[in-house]
Amino acid sequence: MQQDSKQQEHGHAAHAQHHEHRHMAFADAEKAAVKFNSPTRDEWQKPEEIVAALDLQAGETIADIGAGTGYLVAHLSKAVGKSGTVIAIDAEDAMIEYLASRVEALGPATVIPHKVRPDGPKLADASVDAIVILDTWHHIEARPEYAKTLFAALRTGGRLVIVDSPLEAEIGPPAQMRISPEQVMQELSAAGFQVRIADESMPRHYLVVAGKG
């Protein structure tokens, strides 16, 4: 994954290769977890900054799109607490199975693994308070349409945070998959969001905050 090799993200060398991985096995998810959930990841991923940008309150419902092996779910769960809910969304069966095997460990919030197709998060309108997309927005193909579904899924006052790799970062996805923060802002504002680039201290990522007024 990102700390292991330049121009190669989480073992996905390019979109084509990503699609080959679509039917990964549970064992592959366990292998991915060794990297995604590495105990040293917090040092550069700064999950506390992502959680702060989401402005989460106890009892809220947050969707983590592209939840993978639950690295961020653990942090989100603590922020919304026992009365809160984390919907852990992924397009890969193996990731969903892996998440399902860990829902108790990912407490105290109620954690709901949610399998989706790649073209939409399958969330009801006005059903969530916040959405986070970590290292996954660049995997979404029809982003303008996808952004509209995110806007609809959020309640009024809802927040969307997208964390992804800058074009110039030394470590991250292949160059052809990267999206600039300015492009992300454009995609989200076209869907109706109020957007800004947040201050952060992550060496490998930017953080875009979008609000539904």
Ligand X SMILES: C[S@@+](CC[C@H](N)C(=O)[O-])C[C@H]1O[C@@H](n2cnc3c(N)ncnc32)[C@H](O)[C@@H]1O
User: Which residues bind to ligand X, rule: CB under 6 A?
Assistant: 9-10, 36, 65-68, 71-72, 89-92, 95, 116, 118, 134-136, 139-140
- Mutual orientation of helices 26-36 and 93-100 as an angle, nearest 10°? 70
Q: What are residue 104's phi and psi, to 5 degrees?
A: -70, -45
Q: Which amino acid is at 53?
A: A
Q: Using CA atoms, how far apart are residues 162 and 173, in angstroms rounded to an integer?
A: 15
Kindly state the smallest distance separating residue 83's Cβ from ligand X, in Å: 24
Minimum CB separation of residue 210 from ligand X in Å reads 17
Nearest to ligand X of 71, 151 (CB atom)? 71
- DSSP one-letter string for 135-152: S-GGG-SSHHHHHHHHHH
In three-state secondary structure terms, 114 is strand
Would you say 129 or 164 has its CB closer to ligand X? 164
In angstroms, what is the minimal distance from the CB of 81 to ligand X? 21
Which CB sits closer to ligand X, 67 or 179? 67
Least gap, CB of 213 to ligand X (angstroms): 26
What is the distance between the alpha carbons of residues 175 and 72, in angstroms, rounded to a whole number?
24
Closer CB to ligand X, 32 or 59, in the complex: 32
